[in-house]
Amino acid sequence: MAAPLKRLVLPCLTNIHRGFNFHQSFRNLNCHSASITRPHRLIYARNYPTVVVFPDGSSINIRYHEPRKIITLPIDLEDLTEEERRLRLEKRKPKKKVKIEEDISDDFDVNRYVKFIKKK
């Protein structure tokens, strides 16, 4: 275990003595490097580019294991006002179908149109 550690530390220390900056001597890997560049793996599972939309309207691009274009995160109902909460819950309910009943009035009078009929 000590030999690999010496191989990493000693070149860095010699670079410091030569006048190089310590941060320039090796690659800075942290949590932000994965979001800026590609995943550094030889074999990785298929991930699809997806947009995640947060409840406040902001969005980010991520890689998701299923092919989806947009994922919208739900709004926390406890943070809304009472009126907004009531409107949101009403939108979730199924809409009632309106029945249209046609009232066909049969007030056709044949005697009014007898004069237009030609007799043979």
41-99 pLDDT per residue, tens: 766 678 899 999 998 899 999 988 889 999 999 888 888 899 999 998 999 899 888 88
11 belongs to a structural domain = yes
Q: pLDDT-derived band of residue 1, with 50, 70 and 90 as boundaries?
A: very low
Cβ neighbours of residue 61 closer than 8 Å, sequence gap 6 or more: 49, 50, 51, 52
- Containing domain of residue 18, as a range? 1-31
Name the average pLDDT for the chain: 76
- The CA distance from 77 to 59, in Å, is 20
5 belongs to a structural domain = yes
99 belongs to a structural domain = no
Number of domains in the chain: 2
55 belongs to a structural domain = yes
50 belongs to a structural domain = yes
53 belongs to a structural domain = yes
Position 49, amino acid: P
14 belongs to a structural domain = yes
103 belongs to a structural domain = no
